[in-house]
């Protein structure tokens, strides 16, 4: 394993916009980028930000500790295969997505900070919609892309494991198809590898465990990088996705895209998954209530043209109502809110910055009942 050094020397794979942004984000963090590698031979011999660009086949010419794959996630596996074919050991390779989704680092940030008034969880919907920087309350938002109930509950247990002081409110981020959704059985199953070392594979099929991300010890990444580096990378990703996200959906295509997305979201009939998720969600609520924390189911507004699947919707809210009656849970039903026009969304189901600020302000008003 590569151990943390006073100054970490890194090679960045990808001499495009992703690599350039990563190099900029790493400046002043205790990391020295010595070279860019790129598969395009036309870039060989040129410079980016004063740093030489070379082909990966010349990697032995350079003194570096780690190669970080800075390219878009869709190319990560093929780049990893290229580097392994050059006999570069996996412990010397770090995919960018394992840093931006570094679960041990997120847990460490929670434990090393002051106890927040509120924890917020959920999927990418909730990461975009509950923005701590625009709240009057202290909020720790650990929502992650494609999060399901199993991993959300696992994170909550870990966050509360050694804490004597607890948040007053926990915003459990859900969507109308949450009871039918299992990350390890669905399209985003590769994200299971961000959690596997801490919480296991859940229901991931054995034939999927050979995916390249299985070669990495995710908690071990924390020991390879100074904390400032991990924080810089995560902050840069969050800033791009949330704080600077002023994109607006194309109104001309909104209707067709919304129907297509809703059809994909509603194409779920998994009774075994529903049974497990109902059990997990109730255990989640019991955990919070047992620690004196108010559970609040939180659903994010969708565009008015998004046709929510009625059957899943009814099943979902019937179960939430049962938990409300049994445990005193509350619900913020974003689907029932008005005033979220096309200019509040950057795609057919995610709020942009404008929409996120608006929803955060609504949540703040709700939180005032529990936080003085």
pLDDT top residue among 171 and 304: 171
pLDDT in tens, 112-163: 999 999 999 999 999 999 999 999 999 999 999 999 999 999 999 999 998 7
CATH topology identical between 8-96 and 103-367: yes
Please state whether the predicted TM-score (pTM) of the whole model is above 0.75. Answer: yes
Dihedral (CA of 163, 164, 170, 172) sign? positive
Contacts 24+ apart (CB under 8 A), 34-37: 34/9, 34/10, 34/62, 34/63, 34/64, 35/11, 35/62, 35/64, 36/11, 36/12, 37/11, 37/12, 37/13, 37/67
What's the CATH number for 103-367?
3.40.50.1110
In the block, tokens 């190669």 appear at 67
Domain residue extents for the chain: 8-96, 103-367
Q: Could you tell me if 292 and 248 are in contact, meaning their C-beta atoms sit under 8 angstroms apart?
A: no
Beta bridge partners of 190: none
pLDDT averaged over the chain? 92
Asked if 363 contacts 139 with a C-beta cutoff of 8 angstroms, the reply is no
Q: Cβ(73)–Cβ(96) under 8 Å?
A: yes
What's the pLDDT score for residue 3? 47
218-257 per-position pLDDT tens digit:
888 888 888 888 888 888 888 888 999 899 988 778 888 8
Written out in words, the top-level CATH class of the domain with range 8-96 is alpha beta
């Amino acid at each position: 394993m590569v151990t943390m050094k006073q100054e970490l020397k890194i090679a960045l794979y990808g001499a495009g916009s992703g690599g350039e942004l990563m190099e900029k984000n790493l400046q002043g963090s205790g990391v020295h980028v010595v070279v860019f590698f790129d598969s395009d031979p036309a870039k060989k011999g040129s410079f980016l930000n004063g740093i030489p660009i070379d082909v990966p086949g010349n990697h032995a010419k350079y003194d570096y500790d780690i190669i970080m794959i800075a390219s878009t996630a869709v190319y990560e596996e093929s780049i990893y295969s290229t580097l392994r074919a050059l006999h570069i050991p996996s412990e010397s390779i770090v995919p960018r997505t394992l840093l931006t989704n570094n679960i041990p680092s997120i847990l460490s940030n929670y434990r090393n900070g002051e106890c927040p008034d509120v924890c917020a969880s959920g999927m990418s919907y909730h990461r975009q919609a509950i923005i701590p920087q625009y709240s009057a309350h202290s909020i720790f938002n650990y929502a992650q892309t494609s999060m399901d109930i199993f991993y959300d509950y696992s994170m909550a247990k870990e966050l509360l494991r050694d804490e004597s002081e607890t948040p007053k409110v926990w915003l459990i981020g859900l969507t109308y198809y949450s009871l039918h959704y299992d990350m390890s059985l669905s399209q985003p199953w590769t994200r299971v590898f961000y959690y596997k070392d801490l919480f296991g594979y859940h229901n991931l099929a054995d034939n999927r465990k050979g995916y390249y991300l299985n070669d990495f010890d995710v908690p071990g990444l924390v020991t390879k990088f100074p904390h400032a580096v991990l924080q810089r990378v995560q902050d840069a990703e969050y800033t791009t996705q949330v704080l600077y996200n002023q994109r607006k959906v194309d109104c001309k295509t909104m209707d067709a895209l919304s129907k297509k997305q809703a059809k994909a979201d509603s194409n779920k009939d998994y009774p075994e998954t529903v049974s497990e998720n109902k059990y997990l969600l109730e255990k989640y609520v019991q955990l919070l209530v047992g620690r004196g924390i108010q559970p609040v189911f939180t659903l994010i507004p969708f565009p008015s043209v998004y046709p929510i699947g009625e059957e899943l919707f009814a099943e979902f809210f019937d179960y939430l109502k049962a938990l409300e009656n049994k445990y005193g849970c509350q619900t913020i039903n974003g689907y029932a809110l008005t005033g979220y026009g096309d200019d509040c969304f950057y795609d057919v189901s995610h709020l942009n910055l404008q929409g996120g600020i608006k929803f955060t302000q609504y949540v703040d008003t709700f939180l005032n009942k529990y936080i003085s």
